[in-house]
Amino acid sequence: MQTFAHGAATWDVECPRRPGRATGVTMAGFRVRDLEALRIVPHPAVTLLLDFGDGSPVVDGAAGRQERGSVVAGPGTGSGGAVWARGKNVECVQVRLSPVVARAVLGASPAELDGAVVALGDLWGREASRIRERLRDAPSWQDRFAWTDALLARRHEAGPPVDPEVAWAWRRIVGSGGLARVDALAAEVGWSRKRLWSRFRSQLGLPPKRAVRLVRFDRAAHRLVAGEGAARVAADTGYADQSHLHRDVMAFTGATPAAVAGERFLAVDELAWPGRAAEPSSAQVRGSCLP
C-alpha cells in the first residue's frame, strides 16, 4: 500500500497485483481517515464505489441530493463541479467500468443513471449489503480485489453486450484521445448519424459528441495535473486554442485549468490506476475495425 499526501489529506492507496478477468474493468483500494470536501472530476467511465469501512463516504450531488455508502455514477458525473465527496474513516474499493461493459455488469444501461450518483442498493438491492460484508471480512486488499473481480466477471458474462458497432465507436473515440469525428464514425460502421447517436446514447449513457469531449477533456486534465502548461496541453490534445481548453475545463469542472491542475482526485490517479489503461490502444482499435 502506498501513501499519497496532498495538503492536509493523506490517502492510503492499494492496486491489484494481477489484471482483472474482464476487459474494461479496473479497480483500486482507498483508505482515507479524513476526507475533506473533494470535487468529483468527470471521467469517461462508470464508477462503482464499494464502501466497507467504519465510516461512510457522503456524496453531495446537484439540487441537494445526497447519497451515503456504496454508490454508482455514470460517465461524466460531476460536470460543472456539481458533485463533491467527503467522509471520515473511509475504506472502499473503487471500480471503473468502461461504458462498453457497464450495461452488462450493472444489469442496467448507464443511460438510466441520467448523470446522477445513485445508491448501489437502489440498483442491486440486498446484494449491495452482502458486498459490503464480504469486503469487510476479507483478510487483505488483494483478497478484496480478487473477490470483486470474480463478482464483476460473473455479472459481465451474464449481462447483455452492447452493439458491436457501438463498442467499436467508443473504442475508436478513446483510441483517438477524443479527436474522432462523429460523422466519420457513423460512416465507418455503416450507420446514419442519427442511428449512431440513438444507440450510443441508450447503451453507453451519453451521446457520441459528448463522449468525444469527455475523453479529450480527461486526457487534457491529467496532463495539467502532471504539470504541463495550458497552452502546450491545448495544442497537443486537439483544442483550437488555450481559450477553448479553458471553456471546456470550466464546463466540466466549474474551475479554471490552473485550479484543476491542483485537484487531489486527479493527482492520485497515477498511483491508483498507473497509465489508466482500461481501454485498448489506438493501434489495437485500428486492428479491430469493422469491415
- The pLDDT tens digits for 3-23 are 887 767 788 999 999 988 988
User: Does 175 share its domain with 212?
Assistant: yes
The domain that holds 30 is classified in CATH as 2.60.120.10
Indicate if 132 and 175 belong to the same structural domain: no
In a shared domain, residues 168 and 38 = no
Of the residues 158, 182, 210, the one at which a domain ends? 158
pLDDT band at 273 (very low <50, low <70, confident <90, very high): confident
Question: Does the reported pTM lie above 0.75?
Answer: yes
Same domain, 144 and 27: yes
Q: Is 264 helix (H, G, I), strand (E, B) or coil?
A: helix
Residue 215 and residue 177 in contact, taking contact as beta carbons nearer than 8 Å: yes
Among 158, 185, 214, identify where a domain stops.
158
SS3 string, 90-159, reads EEEEEEEECHHHHHHHHCCCHHHHCCCEEEHHHHHCCHHHHHHHHHHHCCCHHHHHHHHHHHHHHHHHHC
Pick from 158, 184, 200: which residue ends a domain? 158
Find the domain containing 172 and state its range: 164-287
Of these ranges, 58-67, 107-116, 201-210, the one predicted with the greatest mean pLDDT is: 201-210
Residues 9 and 152 in one domain: yes
Place of cell 490517479: 269
CB atoms closer than 10 angstroms to residue 209: 14
Mean per-residue pLDDT of the chain: 89
Query: Does one domain contain both 205 and 261?
Result: yes
- Residues 77, 99: one domain? yes
Judgement on whether residues 144 and 201 belong to the same structural domain of the protein: no
**Residues 19-53: tens digit of each pLDDT:** 889 889 999 999 988 888 888 999 999 999 999 99
Task: Summarize pLDDT for 143-189 with one digit per residue, the tens.
Answer: 999 999 999 999 999 999 999 999 999 999 999 999 999 999 999 99
The total number of structural domains that make up the chain: 2
Q: What's the pLDDT score for residue 283?
A: 35
